[in-house]
Amino acid sequence: MKPVRIHGIGVAGGFGTGRQAFEKALESGLPPPSLRVDLAALEAFQPARTLRRMDSFSRLALLGAHLALEDAGLEPKGQDGLGLIIASGHGATVTTAHALLDSMLAGDAFTSPIHFANSMHNACAANISLLMGATGPNLTVSQFDLSVPSALLTAHRWLREGRVERLLFGAVDEHSDLLEHLWRRQRGESQDPMRPLATRVESARPGEGAAFFLLSTKEETAPVYAAFESVTVGRGAPVIPSSPLRVLGADGRVELGKTYGAMAEGARIACFTPHYGSFPASPAFDMAAAALMLRRGHAFASPQGEANDTESTVLAADEALGTQGLSCLTWVPEGFGVVDLAISA
Amino acid sequence: MDTKTKLKHALADELNLPELKEATFDDDAPLFGQGLGLDSLDAVELVIVIQKHFGVEIKDMDESRSAFASINALAAYIDQRLAA
C-alpha cells in the first residue's frame, strides 16, 4: 500500500496565521497573549462578497483550507477528486446558538434560513468543497475531544483504500460567548499561563483555531513533512505507543493529568498546547507541530516545560530527534487516540 | 433613528452587507439582481428581518414585490404599514 504523506500544513490560531507563523511561535517557545484567531487573512484568498453567507466557523475552516493548499503548492479551485474531512468537537456554536435562540425566543418563523443552513452538520465542508471545486467525498466528524483522531482514522482509510488520492483533512473549533460562559461556569477564569506538564494543577485556557493538512498517496511536487505509520482510536486503557518520542495533547485540565503522566512515563516528550489553547480540535495542532519537528529533525521547546512533573524527559529546543518517529497522544475519559508519524523516505 | 437608517443598519448586520452603511450607497438601487445582488434566499431573510426589527409582517407577494424594489421603497412600505 502506498504511504499516506503530509504535503501541506495550514494553521490559524492565537499565534497567527500560516505555517510560518506557527513555526516561528514554536521556535520562540513563547505562547501568544491571546488565544483568539484573526480572520482578516482570509481576505487575501476570497472576496468579501463570496463570504457573505458564510459564518465565522466556516470562514475559520476556509482559511485553514486555503493555507494548506497554498503550502502544498496547489490552486484553491478546480480540485477534481479532492476529498475533504473535517473534524470538530463543537461545530458552529455561534451560528447554532443564534438560530436556536431566534427560534426559542420568537418562534420558528423568525429563524434565519442562512443561520439555519450554516448550523447544519456538514455545511462547513460543503462550503469549502463548493468554493474549491473539490469533487471528492466530504465528511464532518464530531466526537468531541476525540474528533481529530476519529476523523483521521477515516481519512487514513480513504487514502489507503484508494477511494481518494488526495485529501484535505482539517480540524476546526471556534470559541464563542456561549462556550466562554460554559467554560467559566465549569473552570472559572484563569490568567495564569498554561502549564500542561504540571499534571496536578488546573491551568487550561480555552483556545480556538483551524489546522488543515493536504494528505496524499500521490507523488507530489511539494515537499513531504511526514508520513503516517498508523492511527489508533480506542476506549478503555490507552495503548502506550512503542515510540519513545511523544507529543502529548495535555492541555492543563487537571482531571486528565494522571493519564497523561502515565502516557509520558519513561519517554522523551513535548507538549505545545499553550501555543493554541484547550479545545477539541487541538490534537491537529499537536500533529502539525510533530510533522514540522520531523521535517526539521530537531525538537521545539515545550512552553512551561520546566514545570514537568511526569516521569519523563522534556525534549529540549533543537534537540536532535534521530530517525525515530513521533507519536501524538490524545486521552480523555471517553477514549484515546494515537497518531504515529514517521520521517518520510 | 429614522426608518431608513434603522433598516439599512439591520440589513447590513443581518445580511452581512456593509456597503449599505456607506454614505455613497444609492438608496434607489434595486435590491435584487443587478444592484445589491440579493436573491430568493435573501428575500426570505428580508421578510424575517423586517418582522423582527419593525414588527411588520409581509404576507402579500404582490405587495412585497414593489416593497422590495429598493431601500427607499422598503422604508416607505414599512412607514406606511406602521402608520396604518
- CATH number for the domain spanning A75: value is 3.40.47.10
B40 touches A: beta carbon within 8 Å:
no
The CB density around residue A162, as the number of other CB atoms within 10 Å, is 10
The overall average pLDDT reported for chain B is: 91
Mean pLDDT of A164-182: 96
- Would you list the DSSP string of A89-154? SS-SHHHHHHHHHHHHHH-GGGS-HHHHHHTSTTHHHHHHHHHHT--S-EEEE--GGGHHHHHHHH
pLDDT-based confidence at residue A345 (cuts at 50, 70, 90): low
Residue A15 CB-half CA count within 13 A: 27
Mean pLDDT of A283-306: 97
pLDDT-based confidence at residue A301 (cuts at 50, 70, 90): very high
Q: Between chains, do B45 and A114 touch, taking CB under 8 Å as contact?
A: yes
Written as nine digits, the cell of A119 is: 448550523
- For residues A173 and A56, give the distance between their C-alpha atoms in angstroms, rounded to a whole number: 10
State the first-to-last Cα distance of chain A, in angstroms, to the nearest integer: 14
Largest CA distance in chain B: 32
| Nearest residue of B to residue A49, measured between CA atoms | B17
Backbone angles phi, psi at A81, to 5 degrees: 85, -5
- For residues A19 and A24, give the distance between their C-alpha atoms in angstroms, rounded to a whole number: 9
- Residue A110 has its nearest CB partner, among B15, B18, B52, at B52
User: Is the Cβ–Cβ distance between A278 and A253 less than 8 Å?
Assistant: yes
User: Is the Cβ–Cβ distance between A178 and A151 less than 8 Å?
Assistant: no
Mean pLDDT of A268-273: 98
Q: Between chains, do A112 and B16 touch, taking CB under 8 Å as contact?
A: no
Write down the pLDDT at residue A111.
Answer: 85
Mean pLDDT of A73-86: 97
- Residue A113 has its nearest CB partner, among B17, B41, B52, at B41
H helix runs in A4-55, sequence order: 19-28
B48 touches A: beta carbon within 8 Å:
yes
- For residues A272 and B32, give the distance between their C-alpha atoms in angstroms, rounded to a whole number: 49
The CB density around residue A38, as the number of other CB atoms within 10 Å, is 12
Domain containing residue A27? 5-342
- For residues A37 and A235, give the distance between their C-alpha atoms in angstroms, rounded to a whole number: 32
Q: Between chains, do B48 and A53 touch, taking CB under 8 Å as contact?
A: no
Mean pLDDT of A120-136: 96
Q: Between chains, do A113 and B45 touch, taking CB under 8 Å as contact?
A: yes
pLDDT-based confidence at residue A108 (cuts at 50, 70, 90): confident
Write down the pLDDT at residue A103.
Answer: 87
- Residue length, chain A? 345
Specify the pairing of strand A166-173 against strand A245-248: unpaired
pLDDT at B84 over 90: no
- For residues A335 and B9, give the distance between their C-alpha atoms in angstroms, rounded to a whole number: 48
Q: At what angle do helices A147-161 and A283-296 cross, to 10 degrees?
A: 60
Query: How far A109 CA lies from chain B's nearest CA (Å)?
Result: 7
How many domains, in total, are found in chain B? 1
Q: Tell me which residue has cell 402608520.
A: B83
Residue A8 CB-half CA count within 13 A: 28
H helix runs in chain A, sequence order: 19-28, 56-71, 93-106, 113-118, 123-132, 147-161, 177-187, 254-264, 283-296
Query: How far A173 CA lies from chain B's nearest CA (Å)?
Result: 22
pLDDT-based confidence at residue B35 (cuts at 50, 70, 90): confident
- For residues A342 and B23, give the distance between their C-alpha atoms in angstroms, rounded to a whole number: 58
Please give the C-alpha separations between residue A87 and each of A26, A325, B5, in angstroms, as whole numbers. Answer: 23, 24, 42
Q: Between chains, do A112 and B14 touch, taking CB under 8 Å as contact?
A: yes
How many domains, in total, are found in chain A? 1
Q: Between chains, do A110 and B48 touch, taking CB under 8 Å as contact?
A: yes
Backbone angles phi, psi at A129, to 5 degrees: -60, -45
The CB density around residue B55, as the number of other CB atoms within 10 Å, is 10
Q: Between chains, do B48 and A52 touch, taking CB under 8 Å as contact?
A: no
Paired with A232 in beta bridges are A338
pLDDT-based confidence at residue B63 (cuts at 50, 70, 90): confident
Query: How far A339 CA lies from chain B's nearest CA (Å)?
Result: 40
The overall average pLDDT reported for chain A is: 94
Q: Between chains, do B48 and A112 touch, taking CB under 8 Å as contact?
A: yes
Q: What is the DSSP letter of B18?
A: G
Q: Select from B81, B14, B29 the least CA-distant residue to A52.
A: B14
- For residues A32 and B39, give the distance between their C-alpha atoms in angstroms, rounded to a whole number: 42
- Residue to test with chain B: of A43, A50, A52, A116, most B Cβ within 10 A: A52
Q: What is the DSSP letter of A222?
A: S
> Cβ contacts (< 8 Å) between A48 and chain B: which residues?
18
